[in-house]
A and B are shown apart, each in its own frame.
Chain A
Amino acid sequence: MLKPLSLKILDIVTVIVLAISTYLALVFAPAEIVMGQVQRVFYFHIGTAWVGLMGFIVAAVAGIAYLVTHDLKWDRVELAAVEVSLVFFFITIVLGSIWARPVWNTWWTWDPRLTTAAVTELIYIAYFMLRQGIEDPDRRARFGAVYTLLGGISAPITFMVIRLFRTIHPVVIGSQSAAAQGGFNMTGDMKVAFFFALFAFTVIFIDLFWHRLRLGSLQDKVEQMKLKVTM
């Protein structure tokens, strides 16, 4: 399968925006006075969380599309979205934990945000286990679609939980709970790094998602060829 020119261009753009985002986060944005340099992980933490949760929503929408159309291409879309999002959301959790160590004096606490994030990650790890256990492609796609549809509910819950419950996790945009620790007001340069990180990770997500879709198509082609050869 030849790589289309548009994907090649997107690959180059992805590398460039990642480099710029890293520069903005590590050099351009000023150091936060209370937390020090560790606050800089915030830019990638939010960027990866944004695309992670967005991908889970995309997977849920693809699940609905599959249930309506019964077209296996939607199953490939759903699988690609879950896989890429799972990787990004894992980075979010790890970065959050690293940030929490000097700021909260602990790697982990069962705060509502951290708990819902961990549950979301586990839900989608279980999604792969579910798929592994079903051989029939149509049945696997149907179960996967229903699962991602239900699992998709965890994404808005994870996003909203710090705005609805008493939590120590800071809310950078919007009002936060009085118990929040580690919150800060963004300066102009911080906002530039923050919004560029959101943009950069959206581009990275689209690029990886596209690659994963092509991988899924190739996988299907190989499966069809195997059937053709054995028959």
Chain B
Amino acid sequence: METIPDTSGYMIAGYAIAFIVMGMYVLSMYLRHRNLSQDLETLEAISNESKPKPARVEKSKPSAKKSKAPIKKKK
């Protein structure tokens, strides 16, 4: 009877390397995605800060007028 050669060490090494390489690639993609998302958030925050705020000024004007009106009536 023929005996099967013991080459299981090579098989384990092969599968270990395949899973390690795939795992490393998935990890690298996750890290790149996370870093880019953080960069995008930072850039959006900078972009919003540097924008002029005309909308807020317009909204505050009518409320200021309203608050002044009852004071005039009292006088």
A interface with B by C-beta (< 8 Å): 1, 22, 26, 31, 33-41, 44, 48, 84, 87, 90-91, 94-95, 98-99, 101-102, 204, 208, 211-212, 214-215, 218-219, 221-222, 225-226, 228-229
Contacts and interface: CB of A to CB of B under 8 A. Distances in A.
Nearest to B21: A91
Nearest to A102: B7
What does DSSP make chain B's interface, helix, strand, loop or mixed? Answer: helix
B13 A98 contact: yes
Q: Give the bracket for the number of chain B residues in contact with chain A.
A: 20 to 34
Interface in B3-33: 4-8, 10-11, 13-15, 17-18, 21-22, 25-26, 29, 32-33
Interface of B: 2, 4-8, 10-11, 13-15, 17-18, 21-22, 25-26, 29, 32-33, 36-37, 39-40, 43-44, 46-47, 50
A90 B18 CA distance: 9
Given A90-B21, A208-B25, A212-B29, A95 B14 contact: yes
14 contacts: A33-B4, A37-B4, A38-B8, A40-B15, A41-B15, A99-B10, A208-B29, A218-B33, A219-B36, A222-B43, A225-B43, A225-B47, A228-B47, A229-B43
B27 to A, nearest CB: 12
A41 B25 contact: no
